[in-house]
Chains A and B, each alone.
Chain A
Amino acid sequence: MDVTVIATESLSKRFPRVTALDRLSVDVGPGVTGLVGANGAGKSTLIKILLGLSPATEGRAEVLGLDVATEGAAIRERVGYMPEHDCLPPDVSATEFVVHMARMSGLPATAARERTADTLRHVGLYEERYRPIGGYSTGMKQRVKLAQALVHDPQLVFLDEPTNGLDPVGRDEMLGLIRRIHTDFGISVLVTSHLLGELERTCDHVVVVDGGKLLRSSSTRDFTQTTTTLAIEVTDTDEHPDGTRAVREALHARGVTVQDGSGLPGAGHILLLTAQGEDTYDLVRDVIADLGLGLVRMEQRRHQIAEVFTNDDDAQRKEAVGHGG
């Protein structure tokens, strides 16, 4: 697989009155990449250029090794696109619609039907796929939009604000689905959002743009790798009615400093401690086993990407991405 999925070189797009993209140079590798920016930061303009639908004013860009200026059709055959806005006719069923879109991507009729059935199942649409789309919930419509972008098994998908309009549960499900597009389906993803926070769990790499300029491009691991905070949650037993406290005391006795997870969901039941290395994990396991408690969770708590930006000196930068989290 190519090392670079998307590459732009001082890419600019100027309209008579606004500059949508200003000398943007960025390389995106395989995996899930978040494109973050406030509304009007140039995200959609960038996608349009990458699909070969709108010529750049200057600079160049390549998608999957193909030049956007000259090989647009070849790019569009290999990528999928999920628009931000509604794009579904209400009077046809999801199956009919996605089959049609598969054929529009060049799949023969039989393959289009098979791929449609597969893809709709993967995005989580079952019996309802035979009903007209007009009766679907927002979450189901988003799934159909995603399915039409995946049905021709592209190498790369552009997802424009896929969590827009979803409730928290739907949002989590959509983010999980996006993660699976890469891990299970092997398709690279470029996902845009104006919320930095929600991309943290999902993306391998985050590109932040503002006013058409690149603010930052780095892997999510870089953003968060300094942290080694562990979060622990345990059950209570008859012997230890307050299991959390018992663990805290036992760990304290072994010289490990533990904090309450105050300010976090489930505060009071969650303990935070700084892991010194592999040994800390074993220690925690042993302590809890000795107490006879059940371990509900033990996870690495990453810092929010937003925190990384908060530490930044550039106040403007904070402004642009501070809505995350």
Chain B
Amino acid sequence: MSSIWAFLGIPPQALFGQLMVGLINGAFYAMLSLGLALIFGMLNIINFAHGALYMMGAFAAYFLLNFFGIGYWPALLLAPLIVGAFGMVIERLFLKQLYGLDHLYGLLLTFGLALILEGVFRELYGSSGLPYAPPPELTGGYNLGFMYLPTYRGWVVVASAIVCIGTWLLIEKTRLGAYLRAATENPALVQAFGINVPAMITLTYGLGVALAAFAGVLAAPIYSVNPLMGSNLIIIVFAVVVIGGMGSILGSVITGFMLGLLEGLTKVFYPEASNTVIFVVMAIVLLIKPQGLFGRAN
């Protein structure tokens, strides 16, 4: 056993630490790709504004704290609600017009929205970011023996796992989820059964956006509240969705965590390639299984 560690050139403790850190980053990928997969699966919209909405979640938490004195815990609920409502307005005003058209229109519209939102926030708040402190009960950390785990990072993994499982249960195991899935397959028929399909679609988009905003609030104490925080992540998250399989909820969650781990390992063995490795995996997956690891072939 010890010869393996010697071969890898890294003590086992350090490796466990890196895997833990990879898992934490994977939690963010999972939450964001989950929202994207949900929106793509149900609305057939490639939501390029997802990163900007994630950023707005962080800013919402910042505004709640600095203008209304509302702290982290309420913000964790309020920010997704606020940004989710904003998302629903976007869906009603703009996206609704595009459902019958080619994917490209939705893509361009949301890309434009992302540029506008980021531009506005950058103009107002600069690019360095604003400080946002973690709640006092989540500061400090635990010595796990192989690493020092900041309490807040541990919380991120737990919160993300809860949200991911909850969303999956909602879609796969509840009546509402069944309606949603049916509405994606055959909207006309579902409508004929007396279910308000447009309202469900709006709600789904709102839910996807709220997930992004939730991730944004979780990220605020770690990465500072930064107008560019979304554009740094969004491309990786798109790759995660493609690898996991378009529109596959479970696939996006599992892939998110797995790629976080893979990226973590790359940061140890070949750090220079750490922001490329996910795209290499994407290319390989597309060559071998174009529908993605968990996707169904059309």
A and B associate in one complex:
no
